[in-house]
Structures are given as structure tokens and as C-alpha cells.
Amino acid sequence: MNPISIVLLGLAMSTDAFAAALGKGAGMLRPQWPEALRIGLIFGVVEGLTPIVGWLLGSAASRHIEQWDHWIAFGMLGALGLHMIYKAVTDDGDAEGSVAGQGRAGMWSLALTGLATSIDAMAVGVGLAFVDVNILVVAVVIALCTFTMVTLGIMAGRALGTLIGKRAEMVGGVILILVGATILYEHLHAAPA
């Protein structure tokens, strides 16, 4: 793989995370750059590790991962999206405001969202096991692209959240569900008839 192909792969792998970050940013009350950078780092690390895991699994697991990755991503993103919508509907007006205020639960939620958006990167890693490519270089590029896209997505989501007010978290949940549904649709649509 040439450097341009690797960068394009990194950008492609970060699009789901960017969409999820838009939703997360919309659900946050005035996220600041340090928070956005921290969230970007969490997503970037997770997104960078999954192709390495996929690469290590190699050919033995490729068939299983490719058959189920879209369903796993859909289920995780759908569940997280429904949880966000539930929180928005049942919120008594005491906005959580920031990820920092959510403690460990917020970190786990972010890590799960990052994992859900990176399952396809694991399948890509499996495919890369059969290509002459340095997986560490690819993983670093994917991680850096995801870090950048998620950080920007959180801050762009902030503007979205300001525009839509209290329903921002609900919109974020809908975005996560749509990202999961899009992943599922793309894989099912690409499947041979």
C-alpha cells in the first residue's frame, strides 16, 4: 500500500467515529477543547488498536468477523443511541454537561462507542494480514485520523447542540442509531445475492 492509500484508509475508518462524535458533541453542554481532545484520544486509541487485533487474528477468523462485524456495530451503536434518547426524554433538567462530570461511566460509554465505530477497522485489519503492509504504520495513521476527526466532530457537535438546545442528546442518540443502521445497510447491501 502506498502512503496515499494508507491515509485514505485512515480517513475512511474515521468517518463513523466522526458521526458519533457529532452526536456526542451535540449532547454535551458546551464541550471545551481539552474535553474534545480527550475524547478524540480515546476514540483514536481504540480505532488504532482494532486493526492490529484484526491483523493478528488473520485468516482464521476473517470469515467470522466479516459475517458479524456489521451486526455487532449496529447493536452497540443502537443500544448506546437508545440510551442517549432515554436519558434525554427522562432528564429532569439537570444536564450532565460534560464528560468530565460523568466520571468512569462516561469513560466506559466513550470507549464502547469507540469500539462500536471501530469494529469495521478490525475486519480491515484481518484483510491487511494478507497484504504487504506495515500494520503498525496503518494503525497509527488510522488512530491519528480518528483523533483529529473526533476532536473536530465534538466541537462541531457543540454548535449543533447550541442550535437545538435540550434535545441535543436525543439528536445525538438518533445519529448513533443512524450510523449503526448505515453500517448494517452497507454490509448487507454489499453482500452477494
pLDDT at 36: 92
Neighbours of 93 (CB within 10 A): 5
Per-residue pLDDT reduced to its tens digit, 51-106: 999 888 875 655 666 677 777 778 877 887 787 788 777 765 444 444 444 555 57
pLDDT at 101: 41
Q: How confident is the model at residue 82, as a pLDDT?
A: 85
Residue 57 neighbours by CB distance under 10 Å: 17
Structure confidence at residue 71 (pLDDT): 79
User: Whole-angstrom Cα distance, residue 50 to residue 68?
Assistant: 15
Low-confidence ranges of the chain (pLDDT < 70): 59-66, 91-105, 130, 161-169, 172, 191-193
Q: What's the distance, Cα to Cα, between the start and end of the chain in Å?
A: 30
In angstroms, the CA 93 to CA 192 distance is: 48
DSSP label at residue 85: H
